[in-house]
Amino acid sequence: MAQLKELSVPLSDLINCLSNTIDLVSPVLADHHNRVGLVAYALASQLGLPEEARVDLYFAGNIHDIGALSLTDRVRLLQFDGGETDRHAETGALLLEMFCPLARMGELIRFHHVRWEDGAGEVRRGREVPFGSDILHLADRISVLIGTMDGINLLVRIPDILSRIENSSADMFAPTLVEAFRDLSSKEAFWLSLAFPERNQALVRQEHFRTFKLDTDGIVHMSRLFARIIDFRSRFTATHSSGVAASAETLARLSGRSVAECAQMRIAGLLHDLGKLAVPAELLEKPGALTINEIALVRCHTYFTRRALENIQSFDSITPWSANHHERIDGKGYPDHLGGDNILHGSRIMAVSDVFTALTENRPYRAGMDHKSTQKVLNSMVSQSALDPDIVDLLMCNFDEIHTVCAEAQTEAVIEFDKICERVALMTAGHA
């Protein structure tokens, strides 16, 4: 197996991975993030901003609503006038601050819903609002007005969209930006570039869409950002990915895997539930039994995990470990019903780690299970040909060690979650 001492990960792959997955949560949100990035880039180009600023705006636009933690929040933000709030923007900024390569984008996102208000919006909570945030705000509202229109209808609607933006000049948007949009809107090519899915391919292939070279520690750090975005939609889920990652890494070490392979397993654990970004948070936190339709939607998350991670070509060996953690030895798992030898050893470790973490962590409706209860459930799943018996035996022989590292990782994650919630509440007090 190839060792991951250093990977070349294009930033565009990372951003598109997040953006595309988040927008899967509802058809009304389809492609919204990418469209905001493209509009922001076009506005910045129209204004003659430096290329680095244009690229930052493109990326920031693609993930500007990562702090909107529920479908209700996301849909509400599609109201042209009246759906804004500081809370989701501050949450997104704080998440991105924890990963240095994206920290600049976080600063732009923090104020992307601040209204211009005849210049009063240049300062928010005692801080200067970046000009890029004003651009993101306008780009976001333009995208909302475009909605799901196709190319022909979009061209017909240009006067209506332009009129709506111009009527909000000085109140919602800086007049200089409205003027730049007026000039930009006269170009049919601009509008058509927003109407067709392939529009961003040539853009992101350009050299200035930088490639980061991350060593193994850097990749883990990046994956922790993904895990935060996955899990921070509620205090209940805030610890799960961290626990799975710690358990899987320990099991990999106990299985005799190399240091690099253990790090791969940790990354896979942090990313294994990425596809749950496509599942509404309201559904994940539903207290009662799920309906048939709701169960079907939740089962889609492993497919969406694979679909998201395939955007990062360097993750070829990590992706199946993450995406196949609900496959079963008897072939009755999902999404591919692989079974038997078709399930990689890394995927088997991930499956056991996922179940173990779910059993031993505290849930709103029960306390985490002890050694005896956990063993009973795992052995039952082995007898049903759901889990690998050798990996379950390895876990139970080292239960205390694995339980400890899992619990420590989860404690760290929930402390971090609470700190972010406190900072968001403090920063947005009086502005929600």
Q: Do residues 227 and 18 make contact, with C-beta atoms less than 8 angstroms apart? A: no
Task: Report d(CA 82, CA 46) in Å as an integer.
Answer: 28
Task: Report d(CA 64, CA 34) in Å as an integer.
Answer: 10
* DSSP helix/strand/coil, 7: strand
Task: Give pLDDT, residue 192.
Answer: 85
The topology (CATH level 3) of 212-423 is: Hypothetical protein af1432 (1.10.3210)
First to last CA, the chain: 50
Task: Give pLDDT, residue 432.
Answer: 43
Q: What is the DSSP letter of 150?
A: -
Task: Give pLDDT, residue 210.
Answer: 55
The CATH code for residues 31-209 is 1.10.3210.10
Of the candidates 429, 416, 411, the one whose C-alpha atom is nearest the C-alpha of residue 95 is 416
Place of tokens 């309906």: 291
Q: Do residues 188 and 157 make contact, with C-beta atoms less than 8 angstroms apart? A: no
Task: Give pLDDT, residue 4.
Answer: 45
Cis preceding-peptide flag for 320 (omega within 30 of 0): no
Q: Extract the tokens encoding 21.
A: 């997955």
Phi and psi at residue 213, to the nearest 5°: -105, 110
Tens digits of residue pLDDT in 250-305: 999 999 998 889 998 999 999 999 988 888 777 877 777 889 999 998 899 999 99
For CATH 1.10.3210.10, list the domain ranges present in the chain. Answer: 31-209, 212-423
Place of tokens 């070829």: 316
Of the candidates 404, 384, 385, the one whose C-alpha atom is nearest the C-alpha of residue 395 is 404
Task: Report d(CA 336, CA 95) in Å as an integer.
Answer: 33
Low-confidence residues of the chain, pLDDT below 50? 1-5, 432
Task: Report d(CA 376, CA 382) in Å as an integer.
Answer: 10
Phi and psi at residue 26, to the nearest 5°: -160, 145
Q: pTM for this structure?
A: 0.85
Of the candidates 312, 311, 328, 307, the one whose C-alpha atom is nearest the C-alpha of residue 389 is 328
Task: Report d(CA 224, CA 171) in Å as an integer.
Answer: 39
Q: How many CB atoms lie within 10 A of CB 421?
A: 15
Q: Do residues 369 and 418 make contact, with C-beta atoms less than 8 angstroms apart? A: no
**Residue spans of beta strands (DSSP E) within 209-321:** 211-215
